[in-house]
Amino acid sequence: MFHGLLMLIPDGLYMLEIDRLLRPGGYWVMSSPPISWKSPYKGPNKTIENLDGEQLAMEDTANKLCWEKVSDKGTLSVWRKPINHLHCAQEAEFLRSPPLCTEDDPDTAWYVNISMCRTHLPRVELDGGPLEKWPQRLATVPPRIANGEIKGMSIQAYKHDCSVWRRRVELYGTYLKDLSHRSYRNVMDMNAGFGSFAAAMLKYPVWVMNVVPANITDNNTLGIIYERGLIGTYMDWCEAFSTYPRTYDLIHANGVFSLYINK
């Protein structure tokens, strides 16, 4: 989930989608007319009444989502998503908040339909305890593994994976000597797993995009990657990756072809 999101559409349905995308405690930055009835901007085919109505509707939806407004200056407003839904549960009925979704996986993100309900927060966010500060969190066992949130992923398997990729990256360094000289900047790991390849690359001056193949395996590891303080996304490699061509200096494709051998 995102720590912060910049959005230009003040619509209730889209605000529910923003709430789904943001991680607990994440921020939503709204910067676009109409952002405030205090702003003199009118825009095409807009009246003061239109602006007032849209602003009030956006404020009402934010309250129903239990977002906290942390800043409101000129044409810029910032809200924060709650850490959990517990503290506003009693207010939800009074505010006529959208109901919590009944059959959703908070970590699902690939081809998810937008719906008029609030997504449950991942359970690990509620009882997993605080994450370690960076860079200690990179090597700490992520809460999803420590608490047994993901079936078949043990602490031992996680530590073994970290050890394997430390050794492999050491070997890569003997072949790709320019890794230490800023010849490579943007790196992609097409089948990131626990994110151990990116963690082992920390000593090099590179940035790694961790990609978890979608709809291929039962093991969704993107949440683990985020808990390690790394960045990542889902991708179905039968489709085009949404980025500019020739963006990456190095693409790491461990195990990708075998995943799609029957595709």
**What stretch of H or E contains 259?**
helix 256-259
Q: Please indicate, yes or no, whether residues 105 and 168 belong to a single structural domain of this protein.
A: no
Task: Tell me the sheet residues that pair with 7.
Answer: 30
Residues 108 and 192 in one domain: no
Tell me the CA distances in angstroms from 211 to 84, 110, 188, 242, 255, one per residue in order. 27, 13, 7, 12, 12
Number of domains in the chain: 2
> Do 81 and 45 belong to one domain?
yes
Residues facing 252 on adjacent strands: 189
Which sign does the torsion angle of CA 144, 150, 151, 156 carry? Answer: negative
Same domain, 1 and 119: yes
Q: Is residue 128 part of a domain?
A: no
Read off the pLDDT of residues 95-140 as tens digits, 9 standing for 90 and up. 788 888 876 676 777 777 878 888 877 654 444 456 788 899 998 9
Give the end of a domain, one of 81, 96, 123: 123
Helix (H) or strand (E) holding 4: strand 2-7
Please give the C-alpha separations between residue 72 and each of 26, 76, 241, in angstroms, as whole numbers.
Answer: 17, 6, 36
Distance CA(169)–CA(201), nearest Å, equals 7
pLDDT of 32 reads 61
Edge-to-edge order in the sheet of strand 186-189:
232-235, 207-213, 186-189, 250-252
Amino acid at 14: Y
CATH of the domain at 209: 3.40.50
Q: How many angstroms separate the Cα of 106 from the Cα of each of 112, 200, 220? A: 11, 28, 11
User: Which of 96, 123, 150 is the endpoint of a domain?
Assistant: 123
Q: Are 75 and 30 in contact (CB under 8 A)?
A: no
Are both 45 and 96 inside the same structural domain? yes
Based on the fold, state whether residues 27 and 83 are members of the same structural domain: yes
Same domain, 140 and 224: yes
Domain-ending residue, one of 123, 155, 187: 123
Same domain, 56 and 107: yes
Would you call 18 exposed, middle or buried from its count of C-beta atoms within 10 A (0-12, 13-18, 19+)?
A: buried
Whether the per-residue pLDDT at 12 is higher than 90: the answer is no
Instruction: For the full predicted model, state whether its pTM sits above 0.85.
Output: no
Report the mean per-residue pLDDT for the chain: 81
DSSP 76-102: EEEEE--S-SSTTHHHHHHHTPPPBPS
DSSP at 8: -
pLDDT at residue 169 in the model: 97
Q: Which two tokens stand for residue 87?
A: 């503290």
What per-residue confidence (pLDDT) applies to 13? 83
Q: Which residue has the higher pLDDT, 201 or 90?
A: 201
In a domain, 163, yes or no: yes
State the residue range of the domain holding 201.
136-259
pLDDT, position 174: 92
Q: Quick one: how far is CA 48 from the chain centroid?
A: 36
Clarify whether residues 155 and 105 are in a common domain.
Answer: no
